[in-house]
Amino acid sequence: MGGDPVSREPVTHDDVVRAAETIRGRARRTPLLDGSALAAGLSLKAELFQHTGSFKVRGVVNRLAALDSNERERGVAGASAGNHAIALAWGAAAEGLGCIVFSWSSASTFKLDRARALGAEVDVEADDPSAAFARLDEHLAETGRVLVHPFDDPLVMAGQGTVGLEVLEDAPSTDVIVVPVGGGGLVAGIAAAVAPRGVRVIGVEPEDAASLDLALGAGEPVAITPQTRAGGLDAPYAGRNALAVCRAAGVEVLRVSDDAIEEAMRRVYADAKLACEPAGAAAVAAALDGRIAGEHVVAVVSGGNVGGETASAILAGS
């Protein structure tokens, strides 16, 4: 698969604990909010309040902290529909690193413009996610820049997993955490953090961008052509490292429609007063449709980066 990082040992709870120490004071500790206006027993982990508006900062900070002096001189590169691009640009700017991100022509202009404003070079010559990862591979081979993978680097995954540690610190009685899934880094990191505590982890994917569900069925990553209006959940495959963690931790996957995601976004806006993006509402969509049983369910609201025109159209039901 394009942009594959070097595989390491599977991410563990201890890796996530170390990541929490690394990112402390650099990434925000986001609040766990009452979501009972949406569903009984529901809480919302508000990652849209993170630096740059999504959980992605956690993994970027943890990965950049591991760079040596030679790697810092070479600069960093990644591929992204937007949120990883913004986070990588922010992290690179804070540490004075060169940064380029490969995206695709239909990706969110709003998100990519934010990455550019933070100093990243953004390449949108690719027509789709798979082509963007291919362009990233070519660039890495030509330049020697350091890959900061959007979802399948173990250090990135461990950083994302700190979401799960915070959930259990704030609500030890949590029995289910529901997580939006693109390439699987967030759900795998959270699973590594909380599965040893007996917490059930459920990943949520769009019906026509179900890379993790397909990979779990096949036992290996499956290349897909994602079709979804929830930008950020349109990874072209689930990561190999993420898949290994999800299989070991017994992560379950539910699919939801784009219509259900957009309805959940409207509900989150109206009832929880959170201005999330469509991808950020995916876990809530699953929590609202009656398929998840649990006394205390936490849905991760993963991000809030959405352009005004897109947001207003969805909120208006159009």
Length of the chain: 318
**What burial letters (b/e) apply to 207-239, b meaning 16+ CB within 10 Å?**
eebbbbbbbbeeeebbebebebbbbbbbbbbbb
Residue 257 bears catalytic tag = no
- Looking at residue 80, what is its pLDDT? 94
Pairing of strands 32-34, 42-46: antiparallel
Model confidence band, residue 72 (pLDDT cutoffs 50, 70, 90)? very high
pLDDT digits (tens, 9 = 90+) for 4-49: 665 667 899 999 999 999 999 999 999 999 999 999 999 999 999 9
Residue type, 55: F
Report the C-alpha gap between 42 and 24 in whole angstroms: 27
Q: What would the mean pLDDT of 167-190 be, rounded to a whole number?
A: 98
Average per-residue pLDDT in the chain? 95
- From the candidates 45, 54, 56, 80, give the one annotated as an active-site residue: 56
**What does pTM read for this prediction?**
0.96
Q: Quick one: pLDDT band at residue 156, thresholds 50, 70, 90?
A: very high
- Among residues 234, 228, 226, 290, which one has the least CA distance to residue 81? 234
**Which domains does the chain carry?**
13-53+153-315 (3.40.50.1100), 58-147 (3.40.50.1100)
Mean pLDDT of 187-205: 98
Least confident range from 21-30, 89-98, 159-168, 308-317: namely 308-317
* C-beta neighbour count of 309 within 10 angstroms: 10
Contact of 107 with 74, CB cutoff 8 Å? no
List the strands of the sheet with 42-46, edge to edge.
32-34, 42-46, 297-301, 176-180, 200-206, 252-256
Residue 210 has pLDDT above 80, yes or no: yes
- Output the pLDDT for position 293: 85
Residue range 146-159: mean pLDDT, rounded:
97
**Mean pLDDT across 39-67:** 98
- At 244-300, the pLDDT tens digits run 999 999 999 999 999 999 999 999 999 999 999 999 999 999 999 999 988 999 999
Q: Of these residues, 103, 130, 211, 302, which one is catalytic?
A: 302
Q: What integer pLDDT is reported at residue 21 of this predicted model?
A: 98
Q: 17 CB contacts (<8 Å, ≥6 apart)?
A: 165
Distance separating alpha carbons of residues 85 and 101, to the nearest angstrom? 6
Provide the pLDDT for residue 244. 96
56 is catalytic: yes
Task: Write out the H or E segment, with its range, that includes residue 212.
Answer: helix 211-218
Does residue 118 surpass a pLDDT of 60? Answer: yes
pLDDT tens digits, 211-242: 999 999 999 999 999 999 999 999 999 999 99
pLDDT mean over 49-53? 97
The whole-angstrom separation of Cα 210 and Cα 243 is 13
Q: Is the distance from CB of 85 to CB of 113 less than 8 angstroms?
A: no
Distance CA 110, CA 260 (A): 23
Mean pLDDT to the nearest integer, 66-82: 96
Smallest Cα–Cα separation from 286: which of 315, 251, 255, 263? 255
The radius of gyration of the chain from alpha carbons, rounded to an integer in Å, stands at: 18
Give residue 4's pLDDT. Answer: 63
